[in-house]
């Protein structure tokens, strides 16, 4: 199953788990999303759940960042949380989440060069 997860998704998963373990707070919720798209039979979210082997919330039906923000808000409400995403997606995702009244803390991953921060 691990061969079905993409490079960027794997990096996000590792960062999610790192943050979760660093907090040492087992009351935190881990939420994973990830649409299967047209080429995969299993959603990215379900692959991550199998790999992480934690009690996590998954939703593989969300097709874009807006749908992910709506889903996150239904769980997290107005609490702060780590928004783990590829560095190239962080600015747009942060803006979208904040505009919906959600309080993300940027946790970028999947860097591809010295000019990305």
Query: What's the pLDDT score for residue 35?
Result: 66
Which portions of the chain are predicted below pLDDT 70?
1-6, 26, 34-40, 44-45, 48-55, 113-117
Query: What's the pLDDT score for residue 108?
Result: 87
Q: What is the pTM of this model?
A: 0.60
Q: Coil, strand, or helix at residue 59? A: strand
Residue 75 CA to residue 29 CA, distance in Å, equals 9
Give 2-109's CATH code, choosing from 3.40.190, 3.40.50, 2.60.40, 1.10.260. 3.40.50
Is the CB of residue 30 less than 8 Å from the CB of residue 56? Answer: yes
Four-residue CA torsion sign, 59, 63, 64, 67 = negative
> In the chain, where are the structural domains located?
2-109
Tens of pLDDT along 74-108? 988 888 888 888 889 899 999 999 999 998 888 88
Which residue shows structure tokens 């998963």? 13
């Amino acid at each position: 199953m691990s061969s079905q997860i993409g490079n960027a998704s794997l990096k996000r998963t590792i960062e999610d788990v790192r943050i979760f373990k660093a907090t040492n707070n087992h009351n935190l919720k881990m939420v994973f999303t990830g649409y299967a798209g047209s080429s995969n039979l299993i959603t990215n979210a379900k692959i991550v759940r199998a790999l992480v082997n934690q009690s996590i919330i998954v939703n593989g039906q969300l097709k874009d960042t807006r749908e992910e923000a709506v889903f996150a808000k239904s769980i997290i409400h107005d609490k702060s949380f780590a928004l783990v995403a590829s560095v190239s997606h962080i600015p747009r995702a942060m803006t979208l989440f904040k505009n919906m009244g959600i309080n993300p803390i940027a946790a970028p991953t999947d860097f591809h060069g010295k000019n990305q921060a």
